[in-house]
Structure formats: C-alpha cells, structure tokens
Amino acid sequence: MAALGRAALLLAFGLVAYALVAGSYAAWKRRRRLALSAQNALLAAFPATLLASVVLWIALARRDLTFQYVAQHTSHSLPLGYALSAFWGGQEGSLLLWLLILTGYAALAVWLNRRSRELVAWAVPVLGLVATFFAFMLAFVSSPFVTAPAPADGAGMVPSLQNPYMLAHPPMLYLGYVGLTVPYAFAMGALLSRRTDERWIVITRRWTLAAWTFLGIGQLLGAHWAYVEIGWGGYYAWDPVENAALMPWLAVTAFLHSVMIQEKRGMLKVWNMVLVALAFGLSLFGTFLTRSGVVNSVHSFSKSPIGGWFLGFIAVMVVFSVALIYLRLPLLKAKTKLESLVSREATFLYNNLLLVALCLTILWGVVYPILSQAVRGETRSVSKPYYDFFLHTFGLPLLLLMGLGPLVAWRRASLRALGKTFIVPAVAALVTGVALLALGFGSSVPGLLAYTFSAFVAAAIVLEFVRGTQARRAVAGEGWWRAFAMLVARNRRRYGGYIVHAAIVMLAIGIAGSSAYQTVREQALRPGQSMEVAGYTLTYRGLTQTQEANAQAVRATVDVTRGGSHVTTLHPGKNDYPVEQQTSNEVSIYHDPRNLGDLFTIADQVPSKPGGPFYLKVLVKPLVNLIWLAGFIFVGGSVIAMWPDAVEQRRLAAQYEPGAIVA
C-alpha cells in the first residue's frame, strides 16, 4: 500500500513538473498543442494525488502502524473519526492535503476557463510551479508513506485535536489558503501574457470570494474549537498561527473592495496585483508557520525540517511576483483619477489602507520574535496589548467606514447629500452611545465605541435595503417583497456584501461584549460551598470519575441558580489520556438565551484526595454567541455575493469571445 502511495506521489510530481516546464515553454513559444498537453498534465495530477490521499486514509482507518505517519498520529484506541482526521493532524498529511486541494482547484479552474486560452496558457505553469514545490516536498523531503516495523501501539493524537471541530477547521482553512493560489496564478498569468484588462479579475472573482469565505469560516471554527476545547476561556489568543490565517483574510478583504474600483473606474491596477500577491504569499507563510514549528503556538503539534525549504520557496515567489509587477508597470497605468476624497472609491481606499496597515502590524508582531531569536538569539514575544492596541487603532475606524462607505456616492458626494443620507444612522449611533453610557457601559471606551459604531453601521445597512427597495418600487411598480427580492437578485454582489457587513457588525458586538464586559472569578470550593458571579450562584456538589474509550474523565457537579431558581447543572473537569500521557481541561458551558452570553466554567485544579478543594474558574461572557451566529450570516451573504448571474455571464461571454459582435 505504501508503495502505491509513493508511486502516486511520484506520478503527481512528474505531471505538475511537466505542467510547469512544458507549460512555460508552450506559452512562451505560442505552441497550442504543447499548452494543451501541459493543461492535461495539470488535470491528471488531481487523480494521482487523490489516489495517494486515499491510500493514506485507508492506512489511517486500518491503523496500519507500519506507516510511520499513522504510528505517530493515531493509536488503536483512537475513535475512527479522529483517526481519519489525523490526515491533517501532522505535517506530511497537511502537505498532502495542500497538494490535493491545489490540484483539485487547478484542474477545475483550468477546465472551466479553457476557452480563455492565452490567460490559461500562462496560469498553468504558475499553478504548476506551486504544485511542483508541494509535490517535491511530499515525494522527496517529507513523505507520509515512510514505513517501519509496526510498534505495539501508536503514539496517539494530541488530546486537544480530539474534538469534532478538528474534522472541519483545518480543511476549511486549507480550502481558503490554497484557494488563493488560483487568483494569484491568473493574476500572474495576466501579467505574463500582457492581458492586464479585467479578464483575470472576472475569471477569479468567485474563486477569491470562495477562498475568502473558507478562510473566514475556518477561522470561526478554529475560534470555537479554542473556546470549547483549549479551556482557557477565550476564543482568540493572537497566537502566531491564528494570526497566520487572519493576515491573508485581511489582505483579501482589502482586495475584494479595491478590485471594485478597478472594475468600475479602471484604477488601482498595480495595487490589486500587489494585494493578490500579498495574500498568496501570506497563505504560504501561514502554512510555513503552522507546519515548521518555528514558533511556539497552541498549533505547534510537530517540529520539522521543512522550514528552510518553505522559506526558500516563499522568497522565490516574492521575488518572482515583485519583479513581474515591476516589469509590467507600463501596462498597469490607471485610466482615471480619484475625483474627490469624499466618494465611494475614496472610502474603499481608506478601508484598504486600514486593512493593510492592520495586516502588516500583525505580520510584524508574528515575525519580530522569530527575527529576534534568529538575529540576536533573544527570546522575545509580542503579546495581547500590542495586538489589542492596533486592533482598536485600525479596527474601530474600519468598523465605522463599513457604515460610511455604502452611504457615499461614487465619484463625488456633496455635503448636502451626505447630511441627508447620514442623518438616520448618526441619530441611531448617538442614541445608542448615550443610552449605553447612561447604563454604565463607559467602563470600556473601545467597547462603547464598538457598540456605537455598530449601531451606525447596522442603521446604514437597513437604510440601504429600505431605500433600494423604495427606488425599485418607484421604477418597476412592484410590491414590497418582490421589489426587495428583485433588488437583491439583480445586485447580488452589493447586497450580499451588505449581509456580510451585517455579520461583521454582529461579530464586533459579540467580541466587544464578551471581552470588554466579561466577568471573571476564581475560587477554591469544597463540596456544598458556593460562589457568586454576575448574578449567578454556583454550588459545588462533588466529583465523579468515568473511564472513556481513550481517556479517564473526572467531572465536577456544579449547580447553577439565579434569583433562587435552578438554571442548570454544569460538569467542568479534566481528561487524562494515558497513551498520549497528557491531561486536558474539559470546560462546561451554559448558553444564556437572555443575553446571548455564556456562563463558562473551568476546572482549574481537581483535588487529588476526596473532600479536597476544587478550584473553579468562572467567566460570564455577554453576547459571545453573536460571534458564532455571525458565521451563518457571513456564509449566507457570501453565497449570495458569489451566486452566478446569468445576465452578467451573457455580457461577459459576448465581451470576451474573439470577434464577438458588440453593439
């Protein structure tokens, strides 16, 4: 079996290397059949990689411990679902997942756009280049198919990875990371072929949006995993690997806005190329951080020797991208200029500057400790206050801009028109701010500002829908519901985008509520003793021990009352994993429907002797569930924004068909 896996990887390597070499030569010398042959090689690389992946999955399912990878990441007692998820639990499997998704995406992107021959001809070798690197790593540096005599049992899986979220969180992130290769390949293809019109943007629009959505969902799933599994009471710790996923997401968010300016005004062509290259480079950097073990992180499950290879490849891609953009600068001149600093395109520009500034400050926070260690040999860390400062400095204005942007007209807006459109959101924000201040929410200025700005944005979004529906009714004479439905259906990108904005508002409210206004208490309790936290009374009753399939579980019984009435019984505790020789915190949470918040309990210390003190940590986190609800709204808005538009498809087909009749 392992031999089949190795052979499939070698075949995939040969095919993608051929796509790179033959594809480059064909595009350069304008050889049609050779270009088609290179495309076919890229298409064939997917089934070859899929075969290698199936071999690994079978080995994991059978716990075939002759595979070193299987022995290192599973054990006989590990449940089947987690054994299968070990595919992406280790470095070699993660690289294979990268290649599997990349060859799948590449095959689909090339097949769907096969009629845009001159662009695809150059995109194929770029996709081939990236795939060749990963196939090389898997075939020759870090193979999941290394075999050895089977040990009696495997090393098992890190306890924190034994969580249902691990079945979805890493694949989602990888679908996002890898998805950014497609817009990058077509952008570089456009530069190489000198086709710098909007064609590459049209081809990659949905790919970019899909990759961005997957990255967003992946991060939310990761945040929820951290919240329920890591057991420290938070969902985002500014961990370097968490940041690694956030940075490309921010860069793509900037790109999704600035690309609209290129489409509508023919401006920012260089900037868009830079953003696409930056997002792709950051996705490679994120994979490097996750898998190299170069940083201390909750995600550093393995140390490995692949760091040097990755750094070298990232350097090659950065030099290639910068050189290509520089060489093609004459083709990337803007057709028009910014007419006014008070216009929709200007607000997009401000949003881009803030997003990129936030992205780069986070990058510096991630890179600084690594550089400090490498250059001076000193261990430095960049902690929460640094990131919180920049999140407040750049994030709060970004939140406000999200409400301002849609209210400002394209090209230029007069003060009178601005006053008219701003009045309702401004009043909503003012009323909210004053009311919250009166209710005592002034204890946190960033929290108060986040709520006030959120009120502005929410009012602006509602106003956009209402005014748009009114305008449509006036023109088409339709009823309210039909006018609303047609408004969204005919302008999917715009209104899908507004729904995503609504999700971000929910996220901001949830983050502000659960961080700026949370209550934390910790107390040692003996059976029968109670503690008070934010209106709840928690009474510790005692401990129970149970034997689970792969762990010994200790659980406390904690009764929760409020105003004398029983609310729920919680069971925080710890799991002891004998195979992995690790202990994990198992938190217990009560979701309060009144304020969409959580009563979050952690067993900080479990008594070693019966009747000893039990250290209970309790966090009351208002509105935290809005963060997870925002995920559903985010997906809904993204799907609306990416849904194909038949009218636009026909227009584009007419525009880009060679020799098409236009009138």
Partner 1 sequence: MAWPLAVAALLAIGAVVWVARPFLGEPETVSDRLDEPGEAERRRLELVGDRDRALAALKELEFDHRTGKVSDGDYRAQVGPLRRRAAEALRALEPRAEAARGRISEAPQPQ
Per CB under 8 A, residues contacting partner 1 are 1, 3-4, 7-8, 11, 15, 18, 26-27, 30-37, 40-41, 43-44, 47-48, 51, 117-118, 121, 195, 197-199, 263-266, 335, 407-414, 416-417, 420-421, 464, 467-468, 470-471, 474-475, 651, 655-656, 658-663
Burial class (CB in 10 A: 0-12, 13-18, 19+), 333: exposed
- Which residues does 433 contact at the CB level (< 8 Å), separation at least 6? 448, 451, 452, 455
Half-sphere exposure for 213 (CA within 13 Å, toward CB): 20
579 pairs with which residues across the strands? none
- Asked if residue 518 lies in contact with residue 529, where contact means CB atoms within 8 angstroms, the answer is no
Q: Which is nearer to partner 1, 384 or 420 (CB)?
A: 420
> Where in 491-529 does DSSP place strands (E)?
519-525
Q: Could you give the angle at the alpha carbon of 186 between the alpha carbons of 183 and 190, nearest 5°?
A: 135
**Residue 118 or 592: which CB sits closer to partner 1?**
118
Residue closer to partner 1 (CB basis): 8 or 599: 8
Q: 543 φ, ψ to 5°?
A: -115, 150
Q: Min. distance of Cβ 575 from partner 1 in angstroms?
A: 39
Output the smallest distance, CB 61 to partner 1, in A.
17
Cβ of residue 309: shortest distance to partner 1, in angstroms?
26
Q: Could you tell me which of 551, 562, 549, 542 has the C-alpha nearest to residue 616?
A: 542
228 touches 269 (CB < 8 A): no
The closest of 235, 23, 57 to 144, measured between CA atoms, is: 57
Structure tokens at 392: 């407040």
**Shorter beta-carbon distance to partner 1: residue 41 or 382:** 41
- Owner of token pair 């020759």: 140
Q: 37 or 583: whose CB is closer to partner 1?
A: 37
Q: How far is the CB of 489 from partner 1 (least distance, A)?
A: 15
Q: Minimum distance from CB of 412 to partner 1 (Å)?
A: 7
Angstrom distance (rounded) from CA 619 to CA 598:
8
For 163, which DSSP code? S
Q: Smallest distance from the beta carbon of 8 to partner 1, in angstroms?
A: 7
Q: How far is the CB of 197 from partner 1 (least distance, A)?
A: 6
Report helix, strand or coil for 67: strand
| CA–CA distances in Å: residue 659 to residues 113, 456, 528 | 18, 49, 84
| Long-range pairs, 398-402, Cβ under 8 A, ≥24 | 398/351, 398/354, 398/355, 398/358, 399/450, 399/453, 399/454, 399/457, 399/504, 399/505, 399/508, 400/453, 400/456, 400/457, 401/347, 401/350, 401/351, 401/354, 402/351, 402/457, 402/501, 402/504, 402/505
C-beta of 532 vs 648, nearer to partner 1: 648
* Minimum distance from residue 494 beta carbon to partner 1 (Å): 10
Q: Record the tokens describing residue 490, joined without a space.
A: 């005919």
Rg (CA), the chain: 27
CB of 518 to partner 1, least distance (A): 39
Bridge partners (DSSP) of residue 533 are 536
Helix (H, G, I), strand (E, B) or coil at 651: helix
Smallest gap from Cβ 117 to partner 1, in A, equals 6
